[in-house]
C-alpha cells in the first residue's frame, strides 16, 4: 500500500534529522581539530616549559616535540578531511582550488625534508668533531699532544660552521665538502664525508618556503566554512614546521628566511603560532648579525664553546694553572653534555623521514579523491 501523506512527511523529517545529526557531528570534528592544533602549538611555547619539560625553543628536544605535534595534526587532518569524505565536496569552490594548492605545498615540503635530512648528517659530523675534542681535553694529566689533537678537531669544526654559513648565502659547493677542503691539513682526524645536497645550485630553501606561503591567504568572511578552515589550517602548520626546521638546521640557501608568514589573527590556533614565529624571527635577526650557522640551540652553544677552547689551546702551557684548569674543565663538561644531547639528532632524522613518508601517503590518498572528482565531472562520450 503506498505511503500516506503523513507517512511521507514523517520519512522526510527522519531524513532531515539524520542529515542534521551528520552535519553536527562533522562540525564538532572540525572544531575539535582546531582545538587540538591550538593546544599542541601552545605546548610548544617557551612559556609552557616545565620542570619535566625544560627544553628551550629550537633545541633538539623541542624539535622532537614539534615533529610529533605535526604528525598528530597530519593524522587528524586526514581523518577529518580526506578519509571517507564524499568526493563531491572537493569539486565545490573554493576547495577545488585549495586542495590542489595544498598538495603543491606538500611537494615542496618533501624537498625540504630531504634537505633537512642532509643537514642533520652535517650536524652529526660536527658532533663527532666536538667529541674528539672532549675526549682529548678530558685526559689526565693533559699534555701538549692532547691539546694539539683537540685544537685540530675544533678548528675543523669551526671552519665547517663558518663555511656552511657562507655557502648557505652564496650558491656553491656543499657545506661539508667545502669544510673538508678547508680542513685538508687535518688528516689526522679523518676526512669529512661529502654531504653534497641533492639539489641544483639554484635551489633555495628560503625560496621554497616563500613559494609555499605566497598564495596562503586566510578565508574571507563571505567564504563558506566547513572543510575550508582545516585545509587552510593544515597548510599553515605545514609551512610553519618547514620554516622552523630550515631556520635551525643547515640547509641550502636561506637568505631572506626571516620574513614572516601573514597569519590570520581571527583564528584561535593562529595565536600560539604567531608567538612562536615572532620569537624565532627575533633569533634569526641576531643570527644574521653574528653570522652563525642555523638557530639550533646546541649548534650555537657548540660554536661558542669551540671558540673558547681554541683560545685555551692556542695559549696552552704546561702545567696548567689550577684556576684555568677548572674553567676549562667546566667548558669541556658542557661540551660533553651537548655532544650527548646531539645524539638525539638520530631519532630526529627518523622523525623527518616519517614526516616525508606520511606526506607522501596522505598526498596519494588526496589525489585518489581528486581522481574520483575528475571521473564524476567528466561527461561520458557515446
Tens of pLDDT, residues 106-156: 999 999 999 999 999 999 999 999 999 999 999 888 888 999 999 999 999
2 within some domain = no
Of the two residues 108 and 227, the one the predictor is more confident about is: 108
Predicted pLDDT of residue 381: 47
What confidence score (pLDDT) does residue 208 get?
93
Are 186 and 176 spatial neighbours (Cβ–Cβ below 8 Å)? no
pLDDT (0 to 100) of residue 292: 59
What is the grid cell recorded at 280? Answer: 624565532
Mean pLDDT computed over 241-256? 91
pLDDT of residue 277: 92
Question: Is pLDDT above 80 for 26?
Answer: no
Q: What span, in angstroms and rounded, lies between the C-alpha atoms of 14 and 19?
A: 9
Does residue 14 surpass a pLDDT of 60? no
- Find which of 147-156, 252-261, 264-273 is predicted with most confidence, using mean pLDDT: 147-156
Cell of 148: 694539539
Looking at residue 141, its pLDDT comes to 85
In a domain, 63, yes or no: yes
Tell me the average pLDDT across 263-274.
Answer: 88
DSSP H helical ranges for the chain? 5-43, 60-77, 95-137, 144-169, 175-182, 205-213, 228-248, 270-290, 297-314, 322-342, 345-377
In sequence order, what are the residues at sequence separation of 6 or more whose Cβ sits closer than 8 angstroms to the Cβ of residue 182?
Answer: 156, 159, 160, 163
Q: Three cell numbers at 17?
A: 534529522
Residue 12 within any structural domain of the chain: no
Q: 321 — alpha (psi -120 to 50), left (phi > 0) or beta? A: beta
Cell of 327: 674553567
The dihedral formed by the CA atoms of 308, 309, 310 and 314, expressed in degrees to the nearest 10: 110
The answer as to whether 65 is a domain residue is yes
The predicted model gives 332-359 an average pLDDT of 97
From CA 16, how far away is CA 142, in angstroms rounded?
Answer: 83
On the CB side of 113, CA atoms within 13 Å amount to: 22
Is the pLDDT score of 18 beyond 60? no
Residue 218: which of 259, 264, 266 has the closest Cα?
264
| Residue 338 forms part of a structural domain | yes
C-alpha to C-alpha distance for 346 and 330, rounded to whole angstroms: 26
Nearest alpha carbon to residue 110 among 199, 231, 214, 228: 199
Q: Classify residue 141 by its DSSP letter.
A: S
Task: Quote the number of domains for the chain.
Answer: 1
- Predicted structure pTM score: 0.84
* Residue 40's pLDDT band (cuts 50, 70, 90): very high
Segment of 35-44, 319-328, 371-380 carrying the highest mean pLDDT: 35-44
Mean pLDDT of 188-210: 65
Q: Grid coordinates representing 172?
A: 656553491
The Cα 249–Cα 294 span in angstroms is 5
Q: According to the model, what pLDDT value does residue 316 have? A: 79
* Domain annotation covers residue 347: yes
Asked which of 3-7, 216-220, 235-239, 281-285 is least confident by mean pLDDT, the reply is 3-7
Non-local (6+) Cβ contacts of 19 within 8 A are none
The share of the chain scoring above pLDDT 90, in percent, equals 49
Question: If we measure between CA atoms, which residue out of 261, 257, 280 comes closest to residue 216?
Answer: 261
Identify whether 104 is part of a domain: yes
- The parent domain of residue 271 ranges over 30-377
Whether 239 shows a pLDDT value over 50: the answer reads yes
Read off the pLDDT of each residue in 233-245 and give the average, rounded to a whole number: 95
Instruction: Let me know if residue 256 belongs to a domain.
Output: yes
Range of lowest pLDDT (270-274, 322-326, 349-353): 322-326
Q: How confident is the model at residue 346 (pLDDT cuts 50, 70, 90)?
A: very high
All residues at 6 or more sequence positions from 127 whose CB lies less than 8 Å from its CB, including other chains: 302, 339, 342, 343, 345
Amino acid at each position: 500500500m503506498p505511503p500516506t501523506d503523513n507517512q511521507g512527511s514523517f520519512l522526510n523529517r527522519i531524513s532531515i534529522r539524520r542529515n542534521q545529526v551528520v552535519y553536527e557531528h562533522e562540525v564538532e570534528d572540525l572544531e575539535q581539530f582546531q582545538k587540538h592544533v591550538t593546544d599542541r602549538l601552545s605546548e610548544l611555547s617557551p612559556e609552557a616549559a616545565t620542570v619535566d619539560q625544560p627544553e628551550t625553543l629550537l633545541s633538539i628536544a623541542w624539535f622532537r616535540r614539534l615533529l610529533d605535534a605535526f604528525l598528530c595534526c597530519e593524522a587528524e587532518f586526514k581523518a577529518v578531511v580526506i578519509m571517507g569524505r564524499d568526493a563531491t565536496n572537493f569539486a565545490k569552490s573554493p576547495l577545488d582550488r585549495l586542495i590542489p594548492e595544498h598538495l603543491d605545498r606538500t611537494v615542496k615540503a618533501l624537498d625540504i625534508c630531504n634537505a633537512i635530512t642532509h643537514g642533520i648528517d652535517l650536524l652529526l659530523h660536527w658532533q663527532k668533531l666536538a667529541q674528539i675534542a672532549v675526549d682529548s681535553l678530558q685526559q689526565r694529566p693533559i699534555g701538549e699532544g692532547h691539546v694539539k689533537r683537540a685544537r685540530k678537531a675544533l678548528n675543523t669544526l669551526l671552519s665547517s660552521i663558518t663555511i656552511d654559513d657562507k655557502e648557505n648565502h652564496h650558491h656553491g659547493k656543499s657545506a661539508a665538502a667545502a669544510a673538508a677542503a678547508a680542513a685538508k691539513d687535518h688528516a689526522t682526524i679523518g676526512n669529512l664525508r661529502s654531504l653534497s645536497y641533492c639539489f641544483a645550485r639554484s635551489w633555495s630553501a628560503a625560496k621554497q618556503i616563500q613559494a609555499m606561503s605566497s598564495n596562503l591567504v586566510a578565508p574571507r568572511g563571505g567564504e563558506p566554512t566547513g572543510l575550508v578552515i582545516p585545509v587552510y589550517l593544515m597548510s599553515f602548520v605545514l609551512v610553519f614546521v618547514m620554516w622552523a626546521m630550515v631556520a635551525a638546521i643547515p640547509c641550502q640557501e636561506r637568505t631572506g628566511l626571516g620574513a614572516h608568514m601573514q597569519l590570520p589573527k581571527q583564528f584561535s590556533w593562529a595565536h600560539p603560532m604567531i608567538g612562536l614565529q615572532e620569537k624565532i624571527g627575533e633569533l634569526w635577526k641576531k643570527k644574521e648579525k653574528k653570522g652563525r650557522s642555523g638557530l639550533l640551540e646546541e649548534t650555537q652553544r657548540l660554536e661558542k664553546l669551540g671558540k673558547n677552547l681554541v683560545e685555551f689551546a692556542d695559549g696552552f702551557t704546561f702545567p696548567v694553572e689550577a684556576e684555568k684548569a677548572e674553567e676549562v674543565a667546566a667548558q669541556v663538561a658542557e661540551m660533553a653534555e651537548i655532544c650527548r644531547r646531539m645524539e638525539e639528532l638520530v631519532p630526529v632524522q627518523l622523525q623527518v623521514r616519517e614526516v616525508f613518508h606520511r606526506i607522501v601517503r596522505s598526498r596519494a590518498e588526496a589525489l585518489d579523491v581528486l581522481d574520483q572528482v575528475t571521473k564524476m565531472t567528466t561527461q561520458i562520450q557515446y
